[in-house]
Each structure stands twice: as C-alpha cells, then as structure tokens.
Chain A
C-alpha cells in the first residue's frame, strides 16, 4: 500500500514540480537554499499526501503546502553557505536576449521582491501565477478585500522602486 502510494505521489509530484521550484525561486536566492527549501516542501507534501482526498486540485494543494512551508514551517539550515545570487546568475545567462534597460529593470524587480516580507512574497507569487483574489485570500487566510488592498500596495511599492 505504502509503495503504491509512494509511486503515485512521486509520479504526480514529478509532473507538477515546477510549482515548488517557483516557490523556492521567490523565497530563496541561491541554489543551496533553493534545494534546501525544495526538499522540506517535498517532505511536507509527502507527509500530507495520505490525507489528500482529491476533492481539491492537486496543484491548489501544492501551492498551499509550498507557501505554508516557506512562510511558516521552514527553518533555514545552518549549513547554507552564501553562493552567488540567482538574481545575478539567471540574467547573465539570458542577457543577450534582453536589451539593457529591460534586463536592469528585471534585476531590480527580483531584488525588490526578495526584500519583501514573507507574506508579501506569497501575494506577489500568487499574482505572478495568475491566481484569482478568491484563491489568494483562501490560501493566505485573509479577506478578499484585504488581499486586494495589500496587493495594490505591493505593486505600488515595486513600481516606485523602479521609478523613484
């Protein structure tokens, strides 16, 4: 039974693992921290999997556990050594495709996102994932109105960082 469940979990998880990578992208900014958080979220997902009844979509459930782990359950491991920031690495690779100003702007954006609070990061992440305010408010546990207000504040903040 466990083996069967394990196989089912791994196959399904493998299909949607990008969701978790994206959560890690928002909450960490180097490879080691990314892997560490990815591992903890995966463990939490697996631990919760026997309770998954399929009454909600598996992906919705992954967003929830992913964010809950990143915001609440995860403790940074002590062994993480500062490696080069993603923000610089990723954009160096693709730099030829961007014009300079766009690349600069994106770099600033990602840097600004990494400076946001954990809750704000969750909101901007769900916004980038095109989630509705209903889903955002359900995931975080705040009212829809407050989710809207907070989101507008974050957007304004990000914009002013780029256009001071």
Chain B
C-alpha cells in the first residue's frame, strides 16, 4: 500500500478519537475573547493614529512665541489644518480597509486585505515623518534667511556666538534629533512586525511566489 493511502486510512480512523465538546463547553468558548492578529492590528493602528495625532499637542507654548517672532505662525496654522484633513482621509481609508477584512474569504485574499490595512497605517506614519522633515526644512530656511531676526529669537540674551558656528550647532542638533526619531521608529516596527506579522508575511510570500 502506498504511504499516502496508509496515511489517509489512518486519518479516517482517527475521526472517532477526537473529543466531543458538549453544548455548555462550546457555549463557554464563544463567550471568550478572541486574540486574533486582526484584533491586535486594529488596537495598534488606533494607538498609532492617536500617538501621531497628539504629538502636536506636546509642543510647548514657548515654541509658538518663537514662531510668531519668525512670522511663520500663520504658515504653521495652515499646514496644521491641512495635516488634520490628511489624517481624516487616512482614518477613512484605514476604516474602509479594516472593514473589508472577512474571515470567509480565501486565504490569500484574507492575507492581502490584512496587509493592505496595515500598509495604510504605515503610509500614515511615513507621511508624518516626511511632513516633520519638510516643515523643519522650511522653518530653518525662513530662520536662517534673516540673521538679525534669528539672533534675536534664538539668542535673546545677546551672548557672543559665532554665526557660522551657531548654524552648524543648530543643523547637527536637528539631524541628531531626526536620526534618533527614525531609529526609535525602526526599532518599534521591527518589534511590531517581528511579533505580529512575521508569520503572515512569510505565508503570503509563499502564496505569491506560487502564483507568479
């Protein structure tokens, strides 16, 4: 007999050996909470939306007086309004994709939808990083284009500082700050993906290579 036939025979024979759960046991199970990755992804995505939404509120008030002196306050206000409009679009897309996840779909379609939902939030985070970089570049250009104003704003006590030196210190401080932020994000994503999505990505890749 072929080995696979032997296996099939044994498989059928095992049919009677499985436990039979009673009505009450099943009742108890369906009242328990799911711990599926879709649920976790949902929780994490909402946390990310909130985090990036509220990070703006953490900027101290003193910053705004500086911006006022630099005459960029109106500019920042407009960009802020635009920013929240974009956030609303992202939340809508996330909700739409999340809602389309359906456990009755075929395995590959289900995986595709989960990955798409997750990607929406990734784009949201990329958008935030890129916006932060662009905004700081613009603010820097405005600041450094008027050296008297810059000196007045950043050095109100009129300490003796070499202008070029000051420029480099500002530049290096900002680059270091940005690198730390990106480093922390990278660690976070490695962590989140490592735990939640490694299995999913691996299986999805396997199906994808099969269909090429």
The residues of A that contact B11 with a CB separation of less than 8 Å are: 128
The 0/1 profile, CB within 8 Å of B marked 1, for residues 65-105 of chain A is 10111011111010000000000001000000000001001
Q: Which of B27, B40, B207 contacts A142 (CB 8 A)?
A: B207
Write the chain A residue with the least CB distance to B20.
Answer: A17
Evaluate contact between B38 and A42: CB separation under 8 angstroms.
no
Given the interface pairs A72-B200, A73-B103, A109-B7, the reply to whether A10 lies near B30 with Cβ below 8 Å is yes
Looking at B62-70, B107-115, B174-182, the stretch in contact with chain A turns out to be: B107-115
**In this complex, what residue of B is CB-closest to A149?**
B210
Q: How far is the CA of A162 from the CA of B4 in the complex (A)?
A: 10
| B53-86 CB contacts (< 8 Å) to partner A | none
Overall SS of chain A's interface: helix
Chain A residues whose C-beta falls within 8 Å of the C-beta of B20 in the assembled complex: 14, 17
B107 touches A139 (CB 8 A): yes
Cβ A73 vs Cβ B36 within 8 A: yes
A164 at the interface (CB under 8 A from B): no
Closest chain A residue to B40, Cβ basis:
A75
For B207, the chain A residues whose CB sits under 8 A away are 119, 140-142
A42:B30 contact, CB within 8 angstroms: yes
- Whether A102 pairs with B203 at a CB distance below 8 angstroms is no
B172 within 8 A of A: no
- A122 at the B interface (CB under 8 A): yes
Question: Scoring B residues 1 to 44 as 1 if CB is less than 8 Å from chain A, else 0, what string do you get?
Answer: 00110111011001101111111001101101111111010000
Evaluate contact between B210 and A72: CB separation under 8 angstroms.
no
Query: Which residues in B have some Cβ–Cβ distance to A below 8 Å?
Result: 3-4, 6-8, 10-11, 14-15, 17-23, 26-27, 29-30, 32-38, 40, 102-111, 114, 196, 199-200, 202-203, 206-207, 210-211
